[in-house]
Amino acid sequence: MEVHHPHHPTHKKKWSEYIIEFVMLFTAVTLGFFAENIRESIAEQHKKKETLESVAIDFEKDIKQLEFHKNFDLDKIKICDSLDSLIDINPEKIDQKLYYRLINNYYMSWKFNSNNRSRIESEAKGYFSNENNSELATYISKYTFHLTDYNDNTVIEQENYMNFYKNENMRRFVDVSLQRVASRYPRVDIESKLGIKPISAESKEILRFYLNGTRVFNDIGLYNIDSLQFYANKAIAIIRKEK
């Protein structure tokens, strides 16, 4: 026995319906594309604000660290001045404890380690480009310039100290047996006692040559520190203003 199924007439779509379906599908895909772009743009802006805030926080850390270096450089200039004056006194009337403390603190130095991880990340993402913010880009550039100059100056200063020790220069100014104790780190104060090794006129001139060099290096260091703090504060102000 045959089973007969009723035949339902199929609806033949008009060309206008195909166009409508295409337009609707195209519209849905396009809106989805724009929505995703907007979402990514919002996420990127949020990430940018977070990263730049990290830059501002790192600048604040740098400013605090630079204050330590500033006071240290000022103290070294005072040490140079004190030592310069002291060597003109009769060596029999100079307290050896004071003298050796000055001559061993004169060549101390600290390296400035800038907190730059967030700046490197921001630079790689183009957050400091002139197109985004020319004023911030200028301050970051100025900061980088003075940071490089400060570090280069520190390297040259350390080379100056190394030259101070070449050809056994220190033997001109110290008693080796006392220096062996006084130069230990952490510092060990030797006995307070009047009388140091006499220093010849020629040796005084050599010592003053190095003292003058140290003053110059620290003057340059202080100038760079002031500049670094100035441009760091300017950059912080712009970042916080745009939040």
**Of 242, 241, 226, nearest to 63 (Cα)?**
226
What pLDDT score does 44 carry? 63
What pLDDT score does 71 carry? 96
Residue pLDDT, tens place only, 117-134: 999 998 888 888 766 688
Query: Mean pLDDT for the chain?
Result: 85
What pLDDT score does 152 carry? 94
Both tokens of 153, joined, read 């100056």
39 pLDDT more than 70 = no
Using the structure block, give the residue that is written with the tokens 């101070």: 164
DSSP, collapsed to helix, strand or coil, labels residue 134 as helix
Query: Which residues fall within 8 angstroms of residue 194, CB to CB, at 6 or more apart?
Result: 92, 93, 94, 95, 96
What pLDDT score does 184 carry? 86
15 pLDDT more than 70 = no
Query: Which residues fall within 8 angstroms of residue 238, CB to CB, at 6 or more apart?
Result: 133, 135, 136, 139
Please indicate whether residue 140 or residue 33 has the higher confidence score (pLDDT).
140
Both tokens of 82, joined, read 């004190």
Q: What is the pTM assigned to this prediction?
A: 0.79
State the helix-helix crossing angle for 15-86 and 96-105, rounded to 10 degrees. 150
Question: Could you tell me the residue ranges of all domains in the chain?
Answer: 15-241
Distance CA 197, CA 180 (A): 14
What pLDDT score does 37 carry? 59
Both tokens of 240, joined, read 């916080």
Distance CA 236, CA 58 (A): 10
Distance CA 39, CA 45 (A): 10
**Of 62, 221, 65, 72, nearest to 150 (Cα)?**
221
Amino acid of residue 116: N
Query: Mean of the pLDDT values across residues 70-91?
Result: 95
CA distances from 144 to 48, 101, 138, 140, 211 (A): 20, 35, 10, 6, 29
Query: Which residues fall within 8 angstroms of residue 94, CB to CB, at 6 or more apart?
Result: 86, 194, 195, 196
198 pLDDT more than 90 = yes
Please indicate whether residue 39 or residue 219 has the higher confidence score (pLDDT).
219
